[in-house]
A and B are shown apart, each in its own frame.
Chain A
Amino acid sequence: GENVEQHPSTLSVQEGDSAVIKCTYSDSASNYFPWYKQELGKGPQLIIDIRSNVGEKKDQRIAVTLNKTAKHFSLHITETQPEDSAVYFCAASLYGQNFVFGPGTRLSVLP
């Protein structure tokens, strides 16, 4: 079955700097890759996603890149703000079914 690895497990950046989180997946058939942000005591919230027919997608300060050959995808957050502090999860799936999540990255944005 699918296995998703995520690095780093913790990340601290200064406010205004960029943050990058990387994930790798094992099943080459996976074709949908969402990213979720989880704040303390809340459920994960979808922040951006990418499908396998696209190499990059941007939404304001957030971007995701996908390298199908290498089976990895990355989340890029620019101009980080304190409210970006949270745990971020990547996931992989086939046609949006039964997401397999990575272990998470705890991002701290220091003022």
Chain B
Amino acid sequence: DTGVSQDPRHKITKRGQNVTFRCDPISEHNRLYWYRQTLGQGPEFLTYFQNEAQLEKSRLLSDRFSAERPKGSFSTLEIQRTEQGDSAMYLCASTLPGDGYTFGSGTRLTVV
């Protein structure tokens, strides 16, 4: 296992379009997190899964955002009707309970 993989690395989209990002966690990790990071800031929590169950969502996660983790393996984060304020780095991390996160390299979204 080579760590947490995120795809794509970069995404440029027009305002109003839908985008979907994928995260493949470390296989033995049962927790998967999505964070958002804007320039010059620390990562901000969006949501997390334990296996296939989505256990918590941040108030940052508006109705336009949805995340899934079917079968408790990879996860997708979809943003509908993108806005310029959605431009950010979207980070995925996986972990076992009580351990530190292993982050992926992130997907950088630019909404034009």
Contacts and interface: CB of A to CB of B under 8 A. Distances in A.
A42 B105 CA distance: 5
Contact of B98 (A4, A44, A45, A95): A95
Given A42-B105, A45-B103, A96 B44 contact: no
Interface in B12-63: 33, 40-45, 48, 56
B97 A102 contact: no
Contacts of A44: 43, 91, 101, 103
B56 A98 contact: yes
Nearest to B92: A43
Given A42-B105, A44-B91, A98-B56, A49 B42 contact: no
Interface in A86-106: 89, 91, 95-104
Interface of B: 4, 6, 33, 40-45, 48, 56, 91, 93, 95, 97-106
